């Protein structure tokens, strides 16, 4: 509904992935077998929510097939079997079980709760909980704490957004007795305490943030916790990540060398009264660089990567020129604020997700949200007349694993190209 009370129509088709249409054949901590639209699929993912995610992915594939994409049944089944999602109900060890899940909002906590009841119906739990201060940790604690026999509050490592363990412990004491709540000042101490408290038949569950999953995995290996029983794929992943870390360090060093050379270019242009931007030179350079890549995907990546680096080099050169009193006239004008009254915010995710938090932080006003329901789109206006819309894409159904995004669609002449671009994406 628009601001004048009229109903708007959208030339869009909503594809629904209905979980109720899927028949669960078998499920354990290693795999899940289900039937959907007369086909049988296997996924090696644990968690009650993974069936819903799989059905959504299949609905997206059906939408792609309808638009002309040739995707065979064998390719679909193979993709399902190869899918991995570390940090979503990941089993790091057994005897006792150590489960790590990145549940950091109320909806994810509810899914974690369902999964624990599904896989460990007669076990007792020891929880390790660490959250960011800007998350809905009170709601998460209220939901999860009653399930645990003991719960350890910890601080997520090396992050300024982390909620101190002591503050989290005080919140947890509202739902558990003080004797059942412990406070650990590090992830390592929390894990050691959890292992001490848990019996062989108990389950240790670490949750509240995606940020400590890698550290927890490394700690479990360091302590030799269930090392002989850990999935080789997990260990291989750690080795691969170490190699990536080394490569990333080299990239940073090379990037700094490149920027130093860019500064020297700026000095030359000052001396010779040359413009910073040379479009023809950049175009030729980008075309040459992308040819070095071995395949089409990498060629696109190389093009985008170096285009960004060239933009950063120009920014550095403009700054040097400004410091020397040789700044070029740039066709931009500074504004004190953005016109929020006619803005439309598009966000992906559930209430409590990063996009939801970012929307609230940017607007500076409490927003009343009506969640999307199957069968249509619902939204309400805020006090600032900001309209919040959750979209169901027409031709292609976006997968849930896409990076969280926020697009501001300004209905002004100066930003009309954004308007047109987003309309094209949604068609």
Decide: 389 and 9 in contact? Cβ < 8 Å. Answer: no
Would you state the torsion angle of the CA atoms of residues 269, 274, 280, 282, taken in this order, to the nearest 10 degrees?
20
* Overall pTM > 0.75: no
Comparing C-alpha atoms, which of 160, 159, 161, 218 is closest to residue 191? 218
Are 44 and 34 within 8 A, CB to CB?
no
The structure tokens 């003991």 sit at 150
DSSP class of residue 412 equals S
Class of domain 90-230: alpha beta
Closest CA to 43 of 73, 17, 79, 16: 79
In order of 68, 102, 272, 391, the CA distances from 394 in angstroms are: 15, 30, 54, 9
Distance (Å, rounded) from C-alpha 222 to C-alpha 154?
Answer: 19
* CATH class of the domain defined by 248-323: mainly alpha
The beta-strand segments (E) located in 253-350 are 343-347
Report residue 162: phi and psi, to 5°.
Answer: -65, 140
Alpha helices in 101-209 (DSSP H): 106-119, 137-144, 165-172, 187-197
Domain boundaries, the chain: 19-82, 90-230, 248-323, 340-426
Rg of the Cα trace of the chain?
26
Residue with tokens 């308007």: 419
3-state secondary structure of 214: helix
Q: Assess contact for 84 and 110: CB atoms under 8 A.
A: no
Query: In which residue are the tokens 């559930």 written?
Result: 350
Distance (Å) of CA 7 to CA 13, 22, 292: 17, 34, 52
Distance, C-alpha 309 to centroid of its chain: 24
Residue 69 corresponds to which tokens in the numbers above? 């994409």
Span 363-412, pLDDT tens digits: 665 555 544 544 444 444 444 444 444 333 333 344 433 333 333 333 34
Q: What is the pLDDT along the chain (427 residues), one digit of tens a residue?
A: 444 555 555 555 666 667 778 888 888 888 889 988 888 999 988 887 888 889 888 888 888 888 888 889 899 989 988 888 777 888 888 878 899 998 899 999 999 999 999 899 989 999 999 999 999 999 999 999 999 999 999 988 888 888 999 999 999 999 998 889 999 988 888 988 998 899 889 999 999 988 888 888 888 776 655 444 444 444 455 567 768 888 888 999 999 999 999 888 888 888 888 888 888 888 899 989 988 888 889 899 999 999 999 999 888 888 888 887 776 666 667 777 777 666 666 666 677 777 777 777 776 655 555 445 444 444 444 444 444 443 333 333 444 333 333 333 333 433 444 444 433 333 3
**pLDDT per residue as tens digits for the range 259-277:** 999 888 888 888 888 888 8
């Amino acid at each position: 509904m628009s601001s004048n009370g009229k109903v708007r129509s959208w030339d869009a088709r909503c594809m629904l992935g209905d979980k109720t249409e899927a028949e669960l054949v078998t499920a354990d901590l290693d795999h899940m077998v289900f039937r959907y639209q007369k086909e049988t699929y296997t996924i090696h993912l644990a968690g009650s929510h993974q069936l819903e995610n799989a059905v959504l992915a299949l609905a997206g594939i059906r939408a792609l097939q309808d638009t002309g994409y040739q995707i065979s049944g064998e390719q679909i089944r193979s993709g399902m079997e190869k899918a991995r999602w570390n940090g979503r109900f990941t089993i790091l060890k057994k005897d006792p079980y150590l489960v790590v899940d990145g549940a950091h909002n109320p909806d994810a906590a509810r899914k974690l709760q369902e999964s624990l009841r599904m896989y460990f119906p007669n076990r007792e739990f020891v929880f390790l909980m660490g959250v960011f201060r800007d998350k809905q940790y009170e709601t998460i604690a209220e939901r999860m704490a009653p399930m645990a026999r003991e719960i350890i509050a910890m601080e997520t490592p090396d992050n300024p957004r982390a909620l101190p363990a002591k503050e989290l412990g005080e919140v947890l004491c509202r739902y558990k007795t003080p004797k059942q709540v412990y406070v650990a000042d590090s992830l390592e101490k929390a894990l050691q305490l959890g292992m001490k408290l848990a019996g062989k038949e108990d389950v240790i569950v670490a949750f509240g943030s995606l940020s400590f999953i890698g550290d927890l995995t490394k700690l479990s290996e360091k302590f030799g916790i269930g090392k002989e029983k850990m999935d080789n794929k997990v260990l291989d992943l750690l080795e691969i990540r170490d190699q990536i870390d080394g490569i990333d360090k080299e990239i940073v060093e090379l990037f700094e060398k490149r920027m130093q050379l860019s500064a020297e270019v700026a000095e030359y242009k000052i001396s010779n009264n040359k413009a910073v931007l040379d479009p023809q030179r950049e175009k030729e350079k980008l075309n040459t660089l992308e040819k070095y890549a071995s395949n089409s995907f990498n060629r696109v990546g190389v093009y985008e990567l170096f285009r960004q680096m060239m933009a950063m080099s120009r920014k550095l050169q403009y700054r040097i020129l400004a410091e020397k009193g040789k700044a070029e006239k740039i066709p931009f004008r500074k504004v004190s604020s953005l016109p929020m009254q006619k803005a439309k915010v598009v966000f992906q995710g559930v209430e409590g997700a990063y996009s939801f938090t970012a929307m609230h932080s940017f607007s500076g006003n409490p927003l009343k949200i009506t969640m999307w329901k199957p069968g249509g789109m619902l939204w309400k206006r805020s006090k600032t007349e900001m309209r919040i819309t959750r979209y169901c894409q027409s031709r292609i159904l976006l997968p849930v694993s896409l990076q969280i995004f926020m697009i501001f669609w300004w209905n002004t002449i100066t930003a009309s190209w954004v308007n047109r671009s987003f309309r094209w994406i949604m068609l």
